[in-house]
Structure 1
Amino acid sequence: MPKKIVLAALFVLSGCGHPSGVMTPVALTATTPKTSQVEMLVATNRQPSGNPATLFNGERSPKPFLTDIEVSIPPKREAGTVQWPRRLPPNPATDFAVTRVKQLDTRAEGRAWFRQHLEGGHALVFIHGFNNKYEDSVFRLAQIVHDSGMHATPVLFTWPSRASLFAYEYDKESTNYSRSALEQALRVLSEDKDVKDITILAHSMGTWLAMEALRQMGIRDGHVNSKIRDVILASPDIDIQVFAKQYVEMGTPRPKFTIFVSQDDKALAASSFITGRVARLGGINPAEEPYRTKLEEAGITAIDLTKVRTGDRLNHGKFAESPEIVQLIGQRLMVGQKLTDSNISLGEGVAAVIGGTARTVGAVTATTIAAPLNAVEHPITQKKATDVGDSLQNDPQSKLLTQ
């Protein structure tokens, strides 16, 4: 079956779109019902669009940009959903709406913003997936922060996606283009004395970018910065064997990894077809061999969401669209609580989804596994790591976000 037919089928399943160009700030008035505000720092290596309604497009820029953004969230809505406006401008009473946009011209301004908004020394870095506009990732992160109840300062890293189901190859190459920019952004955060710990939450193709940036950091330094404590990979669109190599080559000690998987993920099934029928990490069954036994040694927690139901017809965004799952991220995973089969008592609603019950969900489990397949192979030698690190020091992309 040709790739275009597969992607066209995904387009039908994904449903209708929404109005584009929502980044122009709207004012909250005295008659606006009480709304919730989410403030975030957005780092990007997209090109500016020259249009205040979109801010940035899907093309690549060698120069990084930082933006202070505030999003208003309406009071009456279902958790796990993004209320896109049906018409422009958005109505804050019923829609997600941008209420502030301020470009930060220097890294010093970015540091100052972060210190003013730092919550308990905790930072969350969110990396979106394939087929995302700038505004898509802004609203998704706002929804996750609000619905999870997390106590952390949100940072969005949005990479150049053309936001088209027919631009898979371009988007994948854009993640490769962006790995040094993300690595440098993580270094800047880690070097801030007021930052205690960093959680990375990456989705879909963004998980490849996250793993590549961490691997690159590990090769340079011998290990990932210790402030990067938790890495959460949702629906990871990564070849299983490649993930294993990335995991090993980032060195030790490593952050604590959690992956959300689902065997009914139609987007990952399409990705597998496009990439030569290679299994994706996000589609494994962690309760089956060789994954469960072979991977326990690495201490990676896999949470199987196959039986979780949301409004996503592709079953690709369950981590954000299930109220129980997104609260699990904010209330348990981000505070460093390790999930196992024996300590999954998260309250009746969450336990029914994550822990499963003999009568209902059953097969939905939180399973501790290790990195897939050959993840326990011998790590690269120190000499090789040094050689590769030296060559990367000359990469002009490594200077991104330092100017």
Structure 2
Amino acid sequence: MQPVALTASMPKTSQVDMLVVTMRQPSGNPATLFNGERSPQPYLTGITVSIPPKRAPGTVQWPRHLPANPATDFAVTQVKRIDTLSEGRAWFHQHIEGGHALVFIHGFNNKYEDGVFRLAQFAHDSNMKATPILFTWPSRAQLTAYEYDKESTNYSRTALEQALRTLAKDSDVKDITILAHSMGTWLAMESLRQMGIRDGHVNTKIHNVILASPDIDIQVFAKQVVEMGSPKPKFTIFMSQDDRALAASSFITGRVPRLGGIDPTVEPYRSKLEQANITAIDLTKVKSGDSMNHGKFAESPEIVQLIGQRLITGQPLTDSNASLGDGVAAVVGGTARTVGIVAGGVITAPLNVIEHATTTKKAVDVGDTLQREPEPKPLKQ
């Protein structure tokens, strides 16, 4: 995280400016900025990341040696500490993109710089017209620290709720999209649930909530959605049945299905997603460079473009430009479609066109409709 200087002799690079909000403790080291321990207060930082000109979409070019070489590596070129709310507003107004804001929440086993570089990669590859904001919670970035990380999301949920409220109060902000990954989806859902309980509904500027590989007990997710109140944001979920990280999480947490690992094209999930008006996109057949198949949402160029060019700006997925590539199954409002042909039951052909059902759905209790298994017995203390 130590900034490096760009020189005239270097190849032209792309720059991504982001606002970072964290509940991590300062490390006291400019090379790391923040560690994985919990802070009693949030910290704000403005960061600029330089992205090299030659790289494969969906990849992060980590430096092999320090300092980073902007010609070949992702490199931090500016770090600005933000101490007051007025300074934060000033930063935001300097970087506003059409009134759209994207709040990214990383997952389990992430260092501070992991979230920064992933958001920079996503913002660059998607060509999104939105201001990138990273909310990074205290993760120790260790495979053996699953429980610590999970409790850290609970520790951070009020801070995320307050950050979203502050953002929504800004008159220059037209709408907010939340993009959360893995364990970060739990944090996102809990913060929105808190907001709904306090106000009766989620702030109406929060238009879209995108959950990528959500590490959430499906029964708990159903209750969270109900307790947000109404109106609700539009939910889009990216799932994959070959996600090895979610399989491990399911084993650890009592073998209850994780939301990101279900097959949305089979019953009862398909009908229940339709009733809840939730869009589910199945990425099981998408190839991944990740051996755990857990980061497909950011590695697939088609998915990145779908999120950045359509979901963030609120465009419907109703025309041939909404291609997700071969073998990607989708259920939009519960309706599965191939090229102009409705697929009955499970999708059996490549999906190139996604259409939203136009029929108005009456409100349903998703707390009942999304549950596949009976409620578990209370845990013994």
TM-score normalised by L of structure 2: 0.88
Q: Does 1:81 align with 2:59?
A: yes
- What is the 5 A alignment of 1:3-402? 23-339=1-317, 343=318, 345-346=320-321, 350-352=324-326, 354=328, 362=349, 375-377=366-368
Cα distance change of structure 1 residues 294 and 243 upon mapping to structure 2, 3 Å threshold: same
**Alpha-carbon shift at residue 295 of structure 1 (Å):** 2.4
Q: Residues 175 and 206 of structure 2 are in contact (CA less than 8 Å); yes or no, is this contact kept in structure 1?
A: yes
The whole-number CA distance in structure 1 between the counterparts of 2:153 and 2:212 is 16
Where 1:287 maps in the other structure, the secondary structure is: coil
Where 1:118 maps in the other structure, the secondary structure is: coil
The whole-number CA distance in structure 2 between the counterparts of 1:322 and 1:243 is 26
Q: Residues 175 and 209 of structure 1 are in contact (CA less than 8 Å); yes or no, is this contact kept in structure 2?
A: yes
The whole-number CA distance in structure 2 between the counterparts of 1:345 and 1:169 is 43
**Alpha-carbon shift at residue 367 of structure 1 (Å):** 8.7
* 1:289-334 deviation digits (Å, cap 9, x = unpaired): 0011122111110000000002111100000001111111001111
Cα distance change of structure 1 residues 353 and 337 upon mapping to structure 2, 3 Å threshold: farther
The whole-number CA distance in structure 2 between the counterparts of 1:78 and 1:204 is 23
The whole-number CA distance in structure 2 between the counterparts of 1:267 and 1:67 is 30
Cα distance change of structure 1 residues 353 and 61 upon mapping to structure 2, 3 Å threshold: same
Cα distance change of structure 1 residues 79 and 245 upon mapping to structure 2, 3 Å threshold: same
* 1:90-140 deviation digits (Å, cap 9, x = unpaired): 100000000000100111100110011111111000000000000000000
Q: Residues 58 and 163 of structure 1 are in contact (CA less than 8 Å); yes or no, is this contact kept in structure 2?
A: yes
Cα distance change of structure 1 residues 306 and 138 upon mapping to structure 2, 3 Å threshold: same
The whole-number CA distance in structure 2 between the counterparts of 1:31 and 1:353 is 44
**Alpha-carbon shift at residue 361 of structure 1 (Å):** 8.1
The whole-number CA distance in structure 2 between the counterparts of 1:153 and 1:74 is 21
**Alpha-carbon shift at residue 74 of structure 1 (Å):** 0.1
Structure with more of its chain in helix, by fraction: 1
Q: Residues 306 and 364 of structure 1 are in contact (CA less than 8 Å); yes or no, is this contact kept in structure 2?
A: no
Where 2:366 maps in the other structure, the secondary structure is: coil
Q: Residues 239 and 279 of structure 1 are in contact (CA less than 8 Å); yes or no, is this contact kept in structure 2?
A: yes
Q: Residues 245 and 374 of structure 1 are in contact (CA less than 8 Å); yes or no, is this contact kept in structure 2?
A: no
Instruction: Identify the residue that residue 379 of structure 2 maps to in structure 1.
Output: none
Q: Residues 303 and 367 of structure 1 are in contact (CA less than 8 Å); yes or no, is this contact kept in structure 2?
A: no
**Alpha-carbon shift at residue 354 of structure 1 (Å):** 4.0
The whole-number CA distance in structure 1 between the counterparts of 2:260 and 2:165 is 27
**Alpha-carbon shift at residue 337 of structure 1 (Å):** 2.4
* 1:121-178 deviation digits (Å, cap 9, x = unpaired): 1100000000000000000000000000100000000000000011000000000000
The whole-number CA distance in structure 1 between the counterparts of 2:365 and 2:350 is 26
Q: Residues 344 and 351 of structure 1 are in contact (CA less than 8 Å); yes or no, is this contact kept in structure 2?
A: no
TM-score normalised by L of structure 1: 0.83
The whole-number CA distance in structure 1 between the counterparts of 2:14 and 2:273 is 41
Identity of aligned residues (%): 75
The whole-number CA distance in structure 2 between the counterparts of 1:367 and 1:62 is 45
**Alpha-carbon shift at residue 377 of structure 1 (Å):** 4.4
Where 1:83 maps in the other structure, the secondary structure is: coil
Stretches of structure 1 lacking an aligned partner (at least 5 in a row): 1-22, 379-403
Give the partner amino acid of 2:119: L
Give the partner amino acid of 2:221: F
Higher relative contact order (CA 8 A, sep 6+): 1
The whole-number CA distance in structure 2 between the counterparts of 1:214 and 1:109 is 26
Where 1:303 maps in the other structure, the secondary structure is: strand
* 1:323-349 deviation digits (Å, cap 9, x = unpaired): 11111100111111233xxx352266x
Instruction: Identify the residue that residue 399 of structure 1 maps to in structure 2.
Output: none
Where 1:332 maps in the other structure, the secondary structure is: helix
The whole-number CA distance in structure 2 between the counterparts of 1:304 and 1:127 is 21
Give the partner amino acid of 1:375: V
Cα distance change of structure 1 residues 101 and 275 upon mapping to structure 2, 3 Å threshold: same
Q: Residues 327 and 350 of structure 2 are in contact (CA less than 8 Å); yes or no, is this contact kept in structure 1?
A: no
The whole-number CA distance in structure 2 between the counterparts of 1:154 and 1:240 is 29
